[in-house]
Every structure is written in C-alpha cells, then in structure tokens.
Structure 1
Amino acid sequence: MKQDQTLILLTSRFPYSPGEEFVYNELMILSQKFKDILIVPTNQECWNRVTPHGRELPENVRVHTIKSNEKHPKTRKMKSLLLGITNPTIRKWYKRDIHNAKTFGPKGRLKLYKWIVDAYQIRKNLEVIENSLSRPSVYYSYWLTPAAAALAILKEDKPMIKAVSRVHGGDLYWERHAMPYLPVQKQVIQSLDKIYSISDNGKKYLDDKFSGLSGKVEVSRLGTKRIDFTHIPQDSSSQIPLKLVSVSYLKDVKRVHLIAEAIKGTQVPVHWIHIGDGPEREKVQGIIEQFPDMSKGELVGSLSNEEVIGVLSNQKFDLFLNVSESEGIPVTIMEAFSARIPVLATNVGGTSELVNSSNGWLLNKDFEPEEISRVLNKIAASPELISQKREHAYQMWEEHYSCEKNYSEFAEKMLSIGDLTQHGN
C-alpha cells in the first residue's frame, strides 16, 4: 500500500541514457511504496532537455527537468564559476573543506570550488520543487556527489526537510580518483539525515576515515531480479568448451585484457563472451586474435540491461569474471548469481561480501593471468566444482541481494524518515 509521501530522487542522468540502468529495478519497488516520485537528473547535459527519455515509467513517477536560461552546458558552467566568486553560500561551503583541498594544491582548490558551484546550482533548482510540495516528503540522492551536497545546502537553509543519499564506489573511495580527493564528503554526511552505503566495506571506509559521524552511515544493499531460464535446462554441470562471460566497460580500471591473457594461456577449450565497449577494445581484440584454435572470444559490444539479462538467461555459462582494479559492489555479479553462475573476481571494494570459496573464486587485487588459467584448467578437470558452486551462488543472491526484499526494506526506512516532518509546519 502506498504511503502519502513524495520521494524526490536525484540521479545523474536516469531516466536518460547512458548509465544507471540498475536504478530501474529499485524505482519499480519504490513506486509501490510512495504516493508519487519525482526524478531529477542533475547532470548538466540533462538540463533543458526536451527530447523524451524513452523509458516506460510507473504512472506515479514524473521527471523534473532542471531549467536554465543559458542553453549551452560549457557556457553555463563558466558563468556559474564566475558568479560563484561573490556568492556567500558558495564561499561558506568552500571554506569548510579548504583544509583538505589545499593538500592537493591549486587543482584541489579548483575541484572543491567547482563541486560547490555545481551543488549550489542544483540546490537553486530544488527550491522550485520544495515550494510545490504539499505532503510529507524525502529527498534521496542516488550518489554522494554534488547532488548530495545540494541537499546538504538546502537542508541548512530549510532544516525541516528530510534528505538521504546512497554511496557506492566512485563517489566513496578517494583513492579511485587521479586526484584522490572527494570534496565536502564529511560535511555532507553530517548534514544529511542518513547515508546508505551499498556495502559493509563502504561503511567501514567512512567510519575509519572520519570521526564523529554518530551513526549517520548504514548499510543498505542493492539487489537484482532473479534471472529465470526459459530456453535451456538448469543442468548444473560444466561443459567443454568452458563458457565464460564478463560484463563491463572496456577501460583501464576493468582490466579485461587480463581475462584475455588468461584464456590465451589456458590448456582447455574456452568460449568467452564479453559484453561492453570502450577504449580498450582494440587491445583486447588483439589478444583474442592470439588465442589457440581451440578457444574463441567475442566482444559483443554494449547491450542494454534487458539484453544482458537475456544473454544470461538464454545461454549456459560456467563462470562469470570480474577482474576490476576497483569496485563498490558489482551489480553484475548479483545478476550472475541469480542465474546460478559462479564468479571469479578480484578482492576489491565490497566484492568479498558477495564472492567466496563456496560460490566462486576470489583473487588478490594484484593477480597474474596464470591464476585464472589454473582455475579454468581445474574446472575442466573437475566438473563437479561448478555444480556445487552454482547452488551456493544462487543462495547468496536469494538471501542477501534480492531486489524485492532489499528495496522494500530501503523504502520503509525512507518512509519512516519522511514521516518525521510535515511541509508547512
């Protein structure tokens, strides 16, 4: 039953593409709990959008497009930076984190300034929404980025509003960035009503990094739908050639070329499918061309989330691979587990909360491709390994990463926060 509350969901681009495909499943559950939902894409490339987003959304979900008199994003950003110099709110928030920013010199100061200016621009546009609300509501930023900082600034002016944010990976771990610094992170966490980390690892990271958070950070896991098989039998044994799948953007941090190197040195036939595209495509394709005749690799390019699910449900895979250098906690692994596919992954971010020796193989962050080769040779020699791990993979998903369960619990938490205030009081 829907509660008489409004949810204002701040995304980066969603429902516009590309990215944030995983928001959709969560939105479906939230729409069953809230009276209405307003999605606000905050990326400046989505401002003034008139083209349709092309998604089917529930009837009680609307999209609020941020408006600006300046149509061109680059010009708009430049004007905002100039205007921000004399703005008292921007100056105040800038001073609050200058001690961290100056550690990184002029570039650190500039990053902080741009972050605050972006946040202030979003906050100004939220004023229109705030003035139109007539029922209890809660603001929810999907990322701990300038969007969340905008809520912190708004909340400082209007203390009665309720606002929360998720935190994932790129918006959490400083060291994942070329300049290892995420502006006003502590100040935003302290200002908002609650921060929901998608992993235990993320919560521990923030608790260790900052003192005095006073229980502001909780864990609220992401989740996925179960993948049902429609065209293949649910046989749990392995097969020859071994059939492998991976899903990621082809960029340095994902290290997909190491999967290709491992297959090149494997002594058994392997058929590998990689879903995703990016600047590393040529490099990976070059290694595939060196595969022995018994093995093959396919780079199928980018697919929508629905198409990825279709691949996982219509083909029988022995192993899903994720060898990323850095992660929050991968949704793609959750999807693989729900399809009863064991996983080989690197022990980074919160991945060890998903993958263990019962449902897959966990590699050290700095592994050698030969380690993957040895696992593949072992699977081929002992097919029963896959049979055992398939069921444990599914159990991990069912107990901890079902979207129906996790997002329903998350919605109830936000509803309880929204109940604490009434607009107009």
Structure 2
Amino acid sequence: MTSTLVMITNNYPFLADHREVMFVRPEIGPLKRRFDRVIIAPCDTTGPNVDPDSGCEIDTTLTKLLGRGSRDLLRHIPLAIKSSSRSIYFSELATAFIRYGPKGLLRAVSWSRRAAVASYWATSRFNTDDAIVLYTYWNTGITKGVSEAARSVPNWSVVTRTHGFDLYYNRETPPYLPFRPQVFYDLDRIYTNYLPGDPVLEATMKGNIS
C-alpha cells in the first residue's frame, strides 16, 4: 500500500510569510524518504513558490475553500457545530466571550469556521480507504478540523507540529487558544519545540491558563 503524507501548512512553499520556510524546508527531504507520496496543502498561496523543485505535490484546493471568507460563514458554522458536538461548541463560545470578550469570541468563531472547512476538505478530497498521515503545520483550527475528520477513518492518522503562537497562551492577545485541551484528544502525535517540564506548557496542555 502506498504511504501518503498530507502536510497542511500556512503557506509553504509559497512566500506569503517567509518565516515558515525555515521551519518546513528542512523536513521535506526526510519526509520524502519516509513516504511514497508527499502532498503539501497550503492555506495561503500568496507570493512565489520558493521550492518549485521539491518533488512534492502541491494541492491548492484547501486554499480555495478557505479563501471564500465570511461569505460562507453561515454555511460553515453549522458544520462546525456538528463536528464538535453542540455542547463543546457552545461551551467554548460562551467561555471565549465571558473570559475574553468580543475578541475572544471572534477568535473561537474563526477557529470553528476553519475547522469546519478543513474537515469538509479532508473527507471530500481524500479516499477513506487510503492510509494517510495528515500533518498540520501548525496546531490551529485546521488541526481541529482534520482530526475530527479522521476520527471515523481507521486508516488516517493526524499529527501536528507546534512551536510558539499555537503553543503558549501568553503569545496571543487576549491570551486564549480555542478548544484546548479538546483539540489534543483526537491527535495521534504532537511534536513540540520545548523542554520537558516547562510549567507554562504543561499548564497550556491541560487548559489551565485563563
């Protein structure tokens, strides 16, 4: 059976944000040696392709779905409620607003929309009979969406890479990352850049920072 890795990035190999290139590029070689097929699905395709000869397949279908923006918000939110379960979804929105006000609520809704889009994209784009590893770069609403999609697909695994803004609450204003710790439950593996025993990270993973 062909082994397939689907790497979902913010923008790599496109140069919308040059900072992501230095993180992702070093991983491409080892990943290509490990998997028969490597597909890169960026969320943003702005700017030139900086690695046109990487040998990876580039899939822009997720970009197109996300690019529809607020026009599809009303259609995607019901999908987010369905995939998250009503109790978790509305509890998160309530917590976001009570603790962090309108900005917190807006972030939770934005994450929910992106999760719904990513879940729909994964299930409609890939064959559920195929063995696929979905690898998200970074741990955001996209991760929540594909992990929910993979929940009922035995052949799919989901891993995520997390570094800073998507790992530590205090990197954000307000200091809030939606759907924590629920987003961790459906993941098969989390790769982080941190020292074991880091008290801030340990609290973050348990959802204890408010």
Aligned length, in residue pairs: 200
Contact 1:101 1:108 in 2 (8 A): yes
Q: Does 1:38 align with 2:36?
A: no
Which of the two has greater helix per residue? 2
Unpaired runs of 5+ residues, structure 1, are 213-425
Partner of 2:21: 21
Q: 1:117 to 1:57 in 2, by over 3 A?
A: same
Moved >4 Å (runs of 4+): 67-71, 201-204
Partner of 1:178: 173
Alignment partner for residue 129 of structure 1, among 125, 130, 139? 125
How far 1:157 sits from its partner (Å)? 4.0
Alignment partner for residue 161 of structure 1, among 156, 160, 166? 156
Alignment partner for residue 82 of structure 2, among 48, 68, 89? 89
Give deviations 1:119-153, integer Å, cap 9, x for gaps. 1112211223321764x321111111122112222
Give deviations 1:318-341, integer Å, cap 9, x for gaps. xxxxxxxxxxxxxxxxxxxxxxxx
Q: What SS class does the counterpart of residue 49 from structure 2 fall into?
A: coil
| % identical aligned pairs | 27
Equivalence map 1:261-340=2 (5 Å): none
How far 1:169 sits from its partner (Å)? 0.3
Give the RMSD, CA atoms, in angstroms: 2.9
Contact 1:42 1:122 in 2 (8 A): no
Q: 1:79 to 1:166 in 2, by over 3 A?
A: same
Unpaired runs of 5+ residues, structure 2, are none
Q: 1:198 to 1:192 in 2, by over 3 A?
A: same
Amino acid at match of 1:208: A
TM-score (normalised: structure 2): 0.80
Alignment partner for residue 106 of structure 1, among 95, 102, 106? 102
Q: What SS class does the counterpart of residue 100 from structure 1 fall into?
A: helix
CA distance in 2, matches of 1:160, 1:78: 33
Give deviations 1:143-186, integer Å, cap 9, x for gaps. 11122112222123435521010110011111111211011131
TM-score (normalised: structure 1): 0.42
Q: 1:90 to 1:128 in 2, by over 3 A?
A: closer
Partner of 1:361: none
How far 1:65 sits from its partner (Å)? 0.7
Q: Does 1:55 align with 2:51?
A: yes
Partner of 1:152: 147
Alignment partner for residue 118 of structure 1, among 90, 114, 117? 114
Q: Which gives a bigger RCO, structure 1 or 2 (Cα 8 Å, sep 6+)?
A: 2
Give deviations 1:249-301, integer Å, cap 9, x for gaps. xxxxxxxxxxxxxxxxxxxxxxxxxxxxxxxxxxxxxxxxxxxxxxxxxxxxx
Partner of 2:71: 79
CA distance in 2, matches of 1:78, 1:132: 29
